[in-house]
A and B are shown apart, each in its own frame.
Chain A
Amino acid sequence: MVKVVIMDDSAALKNCLDGEKESFRYLVERYQNQAVGHAAAVLGNGEDARDAVQEAFIDAYRAIDRFDFSRRFYPWFYVLLRHRCFKMLASAGSRKAASLEEAEILASRTGFSIEETLSLEAALLALSAEDRELITLKYLDGFSYQELAELLQIPRGTVMSRLFYARKRLQAKLT
């Protein structure tokens, strides 16, 4: 008989605290693709994004005892991830994408020509990491202002004003 184990983030984290390393695998496999997408938007490079996500998961494993079980896992993990990404950018150890394809931010979509997507990606890459992060979280993931405030640990009003000016800077790069 096949034993079916129903797992959720909270149970996985509690199991990790009890020393079940395999439970952490559940969290890694559940969030790795999403996390790499988010890191690529900040770093502007898919290869660096994978390194940053790997390091952030290791940071998370080491800090599980500090996890507040009343919170959701991903927003907590995201704080660790963006810390890793910005640290990487500050240390100048991050690679610049040699081509737009290496940036791995946008996927080509029907209804948009490849040129349109590439020019938008080039404009995004010309923005600051903070602006790129905010714009992609809002428009590619559809997070609400409240969720963005939680992820970025800033007030909701700051999300509103920063988004406005980030869009304005993006327009300038597009023209």
Chain B
Amino acid sequence: MKLDECEETLFSVMAETDGETPLLSKEQTARHLDGCGHCRTEIERQKETVILLQGQKRFASEIDLWSGIEKRIVDKPANKSVARRYFFVLLGAILVAYKLLEMIPARDSGFLFKLAPLIFIAALFYFFRENPFKINTELKLEGELR
């Protein structure tokens, strides 16, 4: 995201107010604020809001959720990583077996045999609930200041 000078100054001053490293040096900030009444007013307002918020405390609740949770969880969480590891070992074994069969000379196993890897891959995508044609629209560059 490209920032204009006002935004950069405002973000920088407010980051410093929040105890973070500012984006700009003190000289750069002072130079901009000397000539920009809009930013001076905005910073004053933002600081007032920060002071109001910093004086607050979260509502504290004393609850016990364990009894409700205990009833709904099974004794042992399913260890999916072990199952998944076995799945990949099995997959590897099937593919090696397929390759060995394919290497047998003077053997034509037909068209369906050649399609087997494709069917296998389609089944894998189904297994992992993944759409190979999906475009990830969630990638955003917005807000990458530095």
* Residues of chain A at the chain B interface (Cβ within 8 Å): 16-19, 21, 24-25, 28-29, 32-33, 36-37, 40-41, 46, 50, 53-54, 57-58, 61-66, 104-107, 109, 111-112, 117, 120, 135-136, 138-141, 144-145, 154-164, 167-168, 170-171, 174
Q: Give the residues from 52 to 85 in chain B that come closer than 8 angstroms, CB to CB, to chain A.
A: 52-66, 68-70, 72-73, 75-81
CA distance A104 to B60 in the complex (A): 8
Residues in B neighbouring A164, C-beta threshold 8 A? 10-11, 14, 46
Range of interface residues on B (Cβ < 8 Å): 35 or more
Q: Does B145 belong to the interface (CB within 8 Å)?
A: yes
Is the pair A40, B143 in contact by a Cβ cutoff of 8 Å?
no
Residues in chain A near residue B20, CB distance under 8 A: 144-145, 160
| B73:A53 contact, CB within 8 angstroms | no
What 13 new A-B contacts, CB under 8 Å, besides A111-B55, A155-B144? A17-B77, A24-B73, A33-B62, A58-B72, A61-B69, A104-B59, A106-B56, A139-B54, A140-B56, A140-B58, A157-B146, A164-B10, A171-B48
22 A-B pairs in the complex with CB atoms less than 8 angstroms apart = A17-B79, A19-B75, A21-B73, A36-B61, A46-B61, A50-B65, A58-B73, A61-B73, A61-B77, A65-B79, A106-B59, A139-B50, A140-B58, A145-B15, A157-B144, A160-B143, A161-B7, A161-B143, A164-B10, A164-B14, A167-B14, A167-B46
Question: Which residue in A112, A136, A157, A167 is a CB contact (below 8 Å) of B58?
Answer: A136
Whether A65 contacts B80 by the Cβ 8 Å rule is: yes
Which of chain B's residues 89-124 have a Cβ closer than 8 Å to chain A? none
Report yes or no: A33 in contact with B61, Cβ–Cβ below 8 A: yes
Which B residue's beta carbon lies closest to that of A166? B49
**A109 lies within 8 A of B59 (CB):** no
Nearest-neighbor residue (CB-CB) of B15 within chain A: A160
Interface residues of B (CB under 8 A from A): 1, 7, 10-11, 14-15, 18-20, 42, 45-46, 48-50, 52-66, 68-70, 72-73, 75-81, 142-146
Given A16-B77, A62-B77, A164-B10, CB of A104 within 8 Å of CB of B61: yes
Contacts of A117 in B (CB 8 A): 56
Q: Which residue of chain B lies nearest to A140 when distances are taken between CB atoms in the complex?
A: B58
Output the least CB separation between B56 and chain A (Å). 5
Q: Are B69 and A161 in contact (CB under 8 A)?
A: no
In angstroms, Cα B73 to Cα A53, docked, is: 14
When C-beta atoms are compared, the residue in chain B nearest to A175 turns out to be B45
A139–B50 alpha-carbon span in the complex (Å): 8
- Across the interface, name the chain B residue whose C-beta is closest to A20: B76
Q: Is the CB of B75 within 8 A of A33?
A: no
Give the residues in chain A near B52, CB-CB below 8 Å: 120, 174
Complex alpha-carbon distance, A9 and B111, angstroms: 55
Q: Which residues of A contact B10 (CB under 8 A)?
A: 164
Tell me, in angstroms, the Cα distance from A171 to B43 when the chains sit together.
12
The answer on a CB contact under 8 Å between B70 and A21 is: yes
**Bound CA–CA A145/B19 (angstroms):** 9
Residues of A within 8 A of B50 (CB): 139, 167
A170 touching B63 by the CB < 8 A rule? no
